[in-house]
Every structure is written in C-alpha cells, then in structure tokens.
C-alpha cells in the first residue's frame, strides 16, 4: 500500500489516458472513467443573482436549503445567504423503491418550506445536487447510470432522476417548485468555491465517495456539440480501475472490500480512497495481522471479524495527532480486544498507511487533471484553485496537508490552491442554476439583439427587388435614383489583342497602388506586371484635394524611380474607386467622396485634370492619362482577361460596388443605342432614400450618424469593410451596457470609433481560431473578456458579416437576373470578377454571398472569379483598348 512518487506518476499517467478515453466519442462507451459532460459552461462571474431552493442528496447528509444570491456590483463581490436543514435518510430508503426515496425528499422539502415560512404559492426555482453518475443532455435532466456508495434504491437506474423528483413533488403536492438544474456534488463544490475565487476550476470530493470535476475545453468533449468555450466534466474517477488499469496496485484487502461491497467490480478507485471504505480496509488489514499473530497475540474477536466495525471516523480518530493512540486503544477495546501499546501503535500505523494511500491516490489522479488543464491552455505554469468538500478531507486531521504536499511534489510547476467549501455544495448548485438562468436570459437577450440582423428569405427577396428597381431607375436619364448607374465608356471586355506597356494607378479604399503592365498579344498570354503599394495617411484622405493628388503624384514618381522609367512618358490608366460621372473614357467628375475620403475641393471636379495638374506641379515626369475607371470596372476587365464570360465586376472591400455590361439601348444617358457599355452601378447608395429603413437597425443608424457622410451610402454601410467593424462595436456597446458582456464594463476601448477593424471580424470568425485567440484579439483591443464573452463577440461578428454577405448576394441576384432578362434568356451563365479584402479574406463572406445569389437568382449560373492582380491590370487593359482605338 506504500506508493512511491514514480508509482504515483505512473498512476497519474494512466488516469490521463483514461480521461482521454472517456472524452473521445470513439472510446467513451468502453471507458471506465466516464468523463460526463455536465452542461455547466462557466464558473461564477459575480453577476449571478436570485433566490433558490436547494436539495443536497447523496453525501453523508441529506440537506434542504434556501439560497439567496446577491449580485456583485463592480468590484464589490456579491453575497450568498443560506438557510439549511439536515433531514434524516433512513437506511431502508436507500435500498427501497426509488419512488419512496424521492417521496421522502419532496416531503422533506415541503417540511422545510413550512418550517421556514416560505410561501407555498410562489414559484420556487430549485437546484438539485445529486451525487451519483448521471448522463445529462441538459442541465435539468439526468439519467442515473448506476448507484454508488450506500445507495441502491430500485427503479431509478437509467431513469431521469430530475423527472423522478418532479413526479415526487407533484405527488407531495401543495408547492410550486421548478427544478431548474441538477448537478453533481463535485460541480456544486467547484461553483461554491468559484464564487470567491475565480481561479477555481476544479471540484474535488473526498467523502463517503470520491470524485472530481474540472473545466475542460469544449472542443475536447466529443459528446457535446460545439468547439467554443469550456464545459465542466464530471470525471466520475471513482470508477478508475474497473477495466483493470489499477490491478497491479490492488491488494488482497481491496479485493475483499470489493467482494463484500454491494457493487463488486465497480468503483475500484473509490474503494481504495473514500470514506465508505477506509475503515473497512483498516479492519481487514488488522484482522489479517491478528490472524497471523502479529497483533493481540493472535486473538481475533467477532467484532474484529464484523464488517463495518471500523469506520473512517475511527481511522481519523486513530490518526489524531494528540489522542491518536488513546482513540486506537478505545476502539480496539470496543472491539473486545486487549491491545498492547505496540498493538495500538501498529494499528495506528495501519490507519496511517491506508489513509496515506488514499491521499496519495487522490493526489495522483488530481495531478493528472491539473496537467491536462495546463496542456489544454498551453501554459508553462498553471495557477489554479481546487474546491474541496467531503468528510474525509474535512474530518481527517492530516489528510489535507498530505494531499497538498504530494500534489505540489508531483506538479512543481503548478501553483495549486486548495479551498475548502465551507458551506456545503448547495451554494454552488444555486449558482449553477443562477448561471443557467443568466446564460438562458443572456442567450434570449443576445438572440433578441441579433434577430434584426437575421434576414429572412422574404426580406432578401425584397432587397433584390429594390436593388432591381434602383438599377432601372438609375438608367433613366431623369428622376431621382439612389443607384447612380454611371456610364464608364468601356464598351467591351478584352479580346486578347491588347499589347504594349502601360502604367496603372489604383486609388482604392485603403491604399494607392502603382503598376506597370506589359501585355503580349492573345488572351491568357501571361502579361508581365510590376507594382508597388503606398498607404494613404488619414490626413491626406481628409486634407485638401491638392495635397491628395500631390501625394498620388509623389507615389507615382517614386514608382517610376523604382522602375527606372522616369522619362518613359507612358500611357496610363487611373483606377479611381469613387463615383465619377464620365462623359468620356478619360474624364471623370467626382460626384461625392465615399468610405474614408473627404478631401476638399474635389467633389464636382474632374479627377483626371486634378491628377494631371498634380503631375505638372511636380514637373518631374509626364504621363498620358488616357483612361479613368472605377475599381469595379478595372476588376471586371482584369478578370475578363482570364475568363471571357466575365461581364460583372464586384468589389467587397472597404467599400462595396458592382459594375456590369449593360445594353446601351437601356442606358438613357448615352446616345449610342447598339452594343453594350459597362455601367458602374454605385449600388452603395441603395437606401439613401429610406428604402432600406425596414431592415436598418438602430446600430446601423448610429454608425451612419457617426460617419463622415451621414445619410449617404446606406447599403454600403450595411455591407462593407469600412463599417462592419463599427456596426459590431455598436452592438457590443449595447450588449455591454445591458450587462450581457464584459461584466457590463463599458471601457474606453469599446467607446473608441474604428477600434474594431473589419480584419478582426475575419480573424474572429475563422473556424480554425480557438476562442483563446479571440480573447487575445479582444485583449489587444483592451477588452478583458471571459470565454462566454468571446463566444458572444464571435456571434455578433457572424451576424453582422452574414447580413452583409446576404445583402450583397441579394444585390448580385438582381444584377445577374437583369442581364439574363436583358438577353431574353431562361438561363444565364456569367462570371463575376471580384476583389476586396472582405470577399478575399473573410472566412465566410464569399460563400454566403454566392449561396444567397444562387438561391435568389436560380436561373443564373454565376461563377465568382477573384481577381489576382487587382483592378490595376484592368485599368491598363482599358488604357490599351483606348490607346489602340486612337491609333
Ligand atoms: C458536502 C456537500 C455534498 C457532498 C458531500 C460529500 O454539500 O453535496 O455530497 O459534501 O461529502 P460526504 O458528505 O459524502 O462526506
Ligand atoms: C483591390 C483593387 C482596388 C480596389 C480594392 C478594394 O485593386 O482597385 O479598390 O481592391 O478592396 P479594399 O482595398 O477596399 O479592401
Ligand atoms: C459518485 C459521484 C460523487 C462522489 C462524491 C461517487 O460515488 O459516483 O457522483 O461525486 O461519490 O460524492
Ligand atoms: C465607391 C465605389 C467603389 C467601391 C469599392 C464605394 O465607396 O463609391 O466607387 O467602387 O467603394 O471600392
């Protein structure tokens, strides 16, 4: 029975292997250590509140309690008041019919209500601690796998004990109690201690029985859906060894205890460790030594032969520092033995060995759990608290010290604190119920908050219809139109005859790019392309027009230096991703800035002239700007060079927009009526007339009001990268003010516009990203979050980005259906060239957009082709076409 550290490490390693077996769906059924998911997903965070009744059944004492949980405000921790009454649990009920056992429980409950003058009319939420292995699909359901300890009531195994309790309460009648949660005593103990110590994520019972639970990463709990966050797992480690894993540590005495127990072959580990069996083990060892004449001169009394005559309380008494020997003498005398003082020392020593083994075995198994948590969280050192309860731990003088010492010896790199659950486990059970209520109400409130973002098929169909009428209205020469439908003077997509060297300048949403493109005849010929990216500082975006174009000219100068082509006097194409009215391919009057731009003296000006003037001002190089195109047009051309079927350009980036090849006869603003022209729709403006107000949420309104162009680009503000982060931030602000997030702390960070960049959405929503990383992103933003918070933040990001993708999909469905009808086709095959960080980098955006377009335009087979080289190449192609036309 003496176990050395290397043996304990061996047992610890075996238990780790058992835990893995229990957690894995493949091997769970055969696993001895069941690793039962408890549906408890978080430890207390101080916001729990409410008044609960509680039942504590399964330990050495059956208790009925009332628990009042007061919410903590800010740093002031909340408080818990409890009233309890211990009720007898007649032995015959433990082996009688299950219904009688639960009738006794509910009658005791009713008696408690009477005694404490608790109104029988009011509906009382109840928390039920039931200290036996149960399979739980939800918090308020528990199918009893098997009894343990001294319980053997019939007709309950495999049954839902919560239902059995409800039925008993109905049978007793006269009280309105709602059983909201059932928890194992280890879980309740962890929660009880977790109320005062946020590091408490392990619950340990060393009492009549023994068991432990801990917070496991949900992604490791195969039997539960979802990978996000954590869930408390009730290990039921009492069963460790049932598959023979401990056979080389089982002694003859353990075999005797097991053989004479009322569940032979079961709870092997428990029978070596817990209070129900320690006394018996000591008795059997002493009995054997007596028979071998090693004690009491070989005299054996009937009492010593009698099972249960030495209890664990006796063992604790024998080991009492001061009176251990006296207690030993008294005990042996009571067993009709006449012990010599050596006998007493020897028997005391046997007690020590038996209880020492118990604490060592618990230490080994606990070390396995703590190591696993450390590994789960990739920590070099783990700071953690273990909440403990149980009479062996509480009543046995040396037990705690011995246990702590061995755990710390086995895990020197861990900082383990042990907290005794001073008031039993019901506080914890009430907190589980309070957490369950909090999670349930939080779930409801988050769903309510996010439901306006969840667009139905009908709503998306409406958006498609509104987009279509917006496209039609914009093509009209007269009349208001929120969708400007700007002619681009690009009449066809590339045909492969483009050749020569061109410069392309690309002023996008976030940066400026200069490119040099060299085309060789024939489509798909590989064209050589060099480019350089330059950032556009905010002060330039929102400075004067002159500064902006000087900055562009400076970048072009730097690029030509970099390419050594200062004196090349190249033809250039200018991608200008803002709405421009054009009367020819090489002029474009800026209608209005969008996205983050607000440079002065530009709106209403010809941007080509402004660029030319800036180049002239610089007087270092000369360019022949022959074309200005919108980035959607550039993207369409760039992709059409690869796929001739590409006749639509889509940008889903900082901004959002689409262009497509329209029949000239449908474009009232142009003279020509035959053939096609690419129209830059500027669909970002949909809704500027209020046509989207029925789907715009208060959060969108907030974003619009805080934007630099309120009232404008409403569709863009629901769908593009510039704004999605802000919409998310507004929702998070609202949820935090509602106390649903970040413990209600509205930090400066959360109030900072633009802090939640759209790239964070892409990162947070990536499936590969465990929640830990989400938390670190939030950390970077100065938002200290819990697991739950991160789950909600991820959900908010998902709802906002999904809506954006769906709206773009609905818009795209309108465009492709218009093209299909333009050509009088029942079925249209077409390709869309796409660019923009949101489409390219967001993990789900492109898929949701494509799916929505497919569903809303079933007669169109749309291929989405991400643009490799951006729209600059497209601009160069247009420049090539424009140049060749002039020759
Ligand atoms: C006190 C807890 C109860 C748990 C018991 C275990 O309130 O839920 O079952 O500890 O210790 P025992 O009473 O079996 O020694
Ligand atoms: C890359 C294109 C550029 C366009 C940009 C949009 O070359 O013309 O404006 O994509 O994406 P964003 O940078 O706004 O994410
Ligand atoms: C039960 C566990 C319980 C433990 C401590 C064991 O016999 O199987 O569910 O947690 O005793 O009470
Ligand atoms: C601009 C469009 C541009 C789109 C994508 C919008 O804000 O109005 O011209 O195509 O952003 O960059």
- 490-522: per-residue pLDDT in tens? 998 888 788 888 999 999 877 899 999 988 776
Q: Does residue 775 register a pLDDT over 90?
A: no
Nearest-5° Cα angle at 226, 222 to 228:
115
Q: Measure 149 CA to ligand 1 centroid, in angstroms.
A: 12
Q: For residue 612, what are the CA distances in angstroms to 95, 553, 590?
A: 96, 9, 15
Identify the residue whose C-alpha is closest to ligand 2 atom 15: 653
Is 577 tagged catalytic? Answer: yes
Q: For residue 367, what are the CA distances in angstroms to 113, 278, 360, 409, 500?
A: 42, 22, 10, 10, 72
Ligand 3 lined by 233 (C-beta under 6 Å): no
The residue that leads in pLDDT, 717 or 885, is 717
Q: Measure 668 CA to ligand 1 centroid, in angstroms.
A: 83
> Is residue 77 very low, low, confident or very high in pLDDT (cuts 50, 70, 90)?
low
Stretch 35-64: mean pLDDT: 90
Ligand 3 lined by 236 (C-beta under 6 Å): yes
Q: Measure 390 CA to ligand 1 centroid, in angstroms.
A: 5
In the prediction, which pLDDT does 873 show?
86
Ligand 3 lined by 185 (C-beta under 6 Å): yes
In the prediction, which pLDDT does 32 show?
95
- Provide the sign of the torsion angle of the four alpha carbons 655, 656, 662, 667, taken in this order: negative
Stretch 548-564: mean pLDDT: 94
Phi, psi of 112 (to 5 degrees): -65, -40
d(CA 739, CA 380): 33
Ligand 2 lined by 874 (C-beta under 6 Å): no
Among 160, 389, 550, 631, the active-site one is 631
| Nearest ligand for residue 719 CA | 4
Ligand 2 lined by 229 (C-beta under 6 Å): no
d(CA 68, CA 48): 10
d(CA 267, CA 641): 72
In the prediction, which pLDDT does 677 show?
96
- Strands 36-37 and 230-234 turn out to be antiparallel
**Best mutation site among 210, 233, 272, 424 for ligand 3 pocket (most ligand atoms within 8 Å of CB):** 210
Alpha helices in 377-502 (DSSP H): 391-395, 399-410, 426-450, 457-475
In the prediction, which pLDDT does 76 show?
56
Identify the residue whose C-alpha is closest to ligand 4 atom 7: 655
In the prediction, which pLDDT does 522 show?
62
Q: Measure 703 CA to ligand 3 centroid, in angstroms.
A: 54
Beta-carbon contacts of 788 under 8 Å, excluding residues fewer than 6 positions away, are 41, 42, 45, 229, 439, 442
Which ligand 3 atom is at minimum distance from the Cα of 267?
A: 7
Ligand 3 lined by 684 (C-beta under 6 Å): no
Identify the residue whose C-alpha is closest to ligand 1 atom 5: 59
Q: For residue 291, what are the CA distances in angstroms to 109, 354, 450?
A: 49, 19, 75
Calculate Rg over the CA atoms of the chain: 37
Mean pLDDT, the chain, integer: 93
Ligand 1 lined by 43 (C-beta under 6 Å): no
**Among the ranges given (6-10, 127-131, 521-525), the one the predictor scored with the smallest mean pLDDT:** 521-525
| Nearest ligand for residue 89 CA | 1
d(CA 882, CA 887): 9
- Tell me: the pLDDT tens digits for 266-318? 999 999 999 999 999 999 999 999 999 999 999 999 999 999 999 999 999 99
Ligand 3 lined by 493 (C-beta under 6 Å): no
Ligand 2 lined by 508 (C-beta under 6 Å): yes
Q: Measure 80 CA to ligand 2 centroid, in angstroms.
A: 57
In the prediction, which pLDDT does 690 show?
96
Q: Measure 682 CA to ligand 4 centroid, in angstroms.
A: 7
Cβ atoms of 281 and 253 closer than 8 Å: yes
In the prediction, which pLDDT does 73 show?
57
In the prediction, which pLDDT does 243 show?
94
In the prediction, which pLDDT does 525 show?
55
In Å, how far from its chain's centre is CA 321? Answer: 50
- Tell me: the pLDDT tens digits for 697-720? 999 999 999 999 999 999 999 999
Which ligand 3 atom is at minimum distance from the Cα of 148?
A: 7
In the prediction, which pLDDT does 499 show?
83
Ligand 3 lined by 209 (C-beta under 6 Å): yes
In Å, how far from its chain's centre is CA 628? Answer: 46
| Nearest ligand for residue 866 CA | 2
Beta-carbon contacts of 426 under 8 Å, excluding residues fewer than 6 positions away, are 54, 55, 56, 63, 65, 67, 82, 84, 127, 129, 188, 192
Cβ atoms of 796 and 788 closer than 8 Å: no
């Amino acid at each position: 029975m003496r176990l050395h550290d290397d043996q304990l490490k061996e047992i610890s390693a075996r238990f780790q292997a058992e835990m893995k077996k229990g957690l894995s769906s493949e091997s769970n059924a055969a696993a001895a250590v069941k690793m039962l998911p408890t549906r408890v997903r978080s430890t207390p965070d101080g916001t729990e509140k409410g008044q609960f009744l509680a039942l504590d059944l399964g330990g050495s004492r059956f208790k009925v309690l009332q628990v009042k949980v007061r919410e903590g405000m800010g740093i002031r921790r909340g408080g818990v008041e409890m009233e309890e009454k211990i009720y007898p649990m007649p032995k015959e009920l433990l082996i009688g019919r299950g219904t009688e056992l639960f009738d006794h429980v509910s009658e005791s409950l009713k008696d408690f209500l009477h005694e404490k003058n608790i109104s029988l009319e009011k509906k009382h939420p109840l928390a039920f601690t039931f200290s036996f292995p149960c399979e739980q699909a939800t918090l308020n359901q528990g199918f009893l796998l098997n009894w343990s300890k001294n319980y053997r009531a019939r007709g309950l195994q495999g049954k839902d004990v919560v239902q059995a309790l409800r039925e008993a309460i109905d049978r007793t009648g006269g009280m309105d109690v709602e059983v909201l949660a059932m928890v194992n005593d280890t879980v309740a103990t962890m929660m009880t201690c977790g109320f005062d110590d946020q590091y408490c994520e392990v619950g340990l019972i060393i009492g009549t029985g023994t068991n432990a639970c801990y917070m496991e990463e949900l992604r490791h709990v195969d039997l539960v859906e979802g990978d996000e966050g954590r869930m408390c797992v009730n290990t039921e480690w009492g069963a460790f060894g049932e598959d023979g894993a401990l056979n080389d540590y089982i002694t003859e005495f353990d075999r005797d205890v097991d053989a004479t127990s009322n569940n032979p072959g079961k709870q092997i580990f428990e029978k070596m460790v817990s209070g129900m069996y320690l006394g018996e083990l000591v008795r059997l060892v002493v009995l054997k030594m007596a028979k071998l004449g090693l004690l009491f001169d070989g005299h054996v009394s009937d009492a010593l032969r009698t099972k249960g005559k030495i209890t664990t309380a006796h063992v604790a008494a024998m080991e009492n520092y001061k009176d251990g020997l006296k207690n030993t003498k008294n005990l042996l005398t009571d067993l009709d033995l006449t012990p010599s003082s050596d006998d007493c020392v020897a028997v005391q020593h046997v007690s020590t060995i038996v209880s020492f083994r118990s604490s060592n075995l618990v230490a080994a198994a606990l070390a396995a759990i703590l190591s696993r948590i450390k590994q789960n969280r990739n920590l070099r050192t783990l700071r953690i608290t273990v909440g403990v309860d149980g009479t062996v731990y509480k009543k046995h003088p040396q037990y705690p010290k011995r246990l702590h010492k061995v755990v710390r010896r086995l895990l020197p790199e861990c900082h383990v604190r042990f907290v005794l659950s001073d008031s039993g486990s019901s506080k914890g059970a009430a907190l589980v119920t309070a957490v369950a209520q909090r999670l349930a109400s939080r779930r409801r409130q988050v769903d309510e908050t996010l439901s306006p973002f969840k667009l139905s098929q009908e709503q998306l169909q409406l958006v498609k219809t509104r987009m279509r009428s917006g496209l039609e209205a914009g093509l009209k020469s007269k009349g208001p139109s929120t969708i400007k439908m700007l002619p681009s003077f690009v009449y066809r997509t590339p045909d492969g005859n483009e050749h020569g060297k061109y410069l392309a300048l690309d002023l996008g949403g976030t940066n400026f790019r200069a490119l040099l493109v060299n085309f060789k005849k024939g489509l798909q010929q590989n064209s050589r392309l060099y480019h350089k990216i330059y950032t556009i500082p905010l002060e330039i975006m929102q400075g004067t027009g002159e500064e902006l174009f000087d900055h562009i000219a400076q970048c072009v100068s730097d690029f030509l230096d970099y390419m050594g082509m200062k004196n090349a006097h190249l033809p250039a194409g200018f991608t200008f991703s803002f709405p421009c009215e054009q009367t020819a391919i090489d002029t474009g009057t800026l209608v209005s800035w969008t996205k983050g731009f607000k440079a002065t003296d530009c709106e209403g000006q010809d941007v080509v002239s402004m660029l030319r003037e800036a180049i002239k001002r610089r007087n270092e190089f000369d360019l022949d700007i022959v074309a200005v195109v919108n980035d959607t047009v550039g993207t369409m051309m760039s992709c059409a060079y690869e796929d001739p079927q590409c006749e639509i350009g889509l940008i889903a980036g900082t901004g959002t927009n689409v262009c497509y090849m329209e029949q000239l006869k449908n474009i009232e603003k142009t003279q020509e009526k035959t053939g096609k022209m690419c129209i830059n729709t500027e669909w970002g403006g949909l809704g500027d007339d209020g046509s989207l107000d029925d789907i715009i949420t208060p959060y969108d309104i907030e974003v619009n009001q805080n934007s630099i162009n309120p009232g404008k680009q409403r569709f863009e503000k629901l769908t593009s990268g510039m704004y999605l982060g802000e919409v998310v931030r507004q929702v998070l602000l609202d949820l935090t003010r509602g106390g649903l997030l970040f413990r209600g702390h509205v930090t400066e960070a959360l109030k900072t516009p633009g802090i939640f960049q759209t790239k964070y959405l892409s990162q947070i929503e990536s499936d590969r990203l465990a929640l830990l990383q989400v938390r670190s992103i939030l950390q970077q933003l100065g938002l200290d979050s819990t697991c739950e918070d991160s789950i909600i933040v991820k959900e908010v990001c998902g709802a906002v980005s999904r809506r954006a993708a769906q709206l773009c999909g609905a818009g795209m469905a309108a465009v492709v259906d218009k093209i299909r009808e333009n050509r009088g086709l029942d079925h249209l095959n077409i390709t869309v060239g796409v660019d923009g960080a949101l489409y390219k980098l967001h993990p789900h955006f492109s898929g949701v957009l494509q799916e929505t377009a497919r569903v809303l335009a079933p007669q169109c087979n749309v291929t989405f082709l991400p643009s490799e080289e951006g729209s600059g190449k497209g601009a160069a192609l247009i420049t090539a076409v424009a140049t060749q036309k002039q020759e």
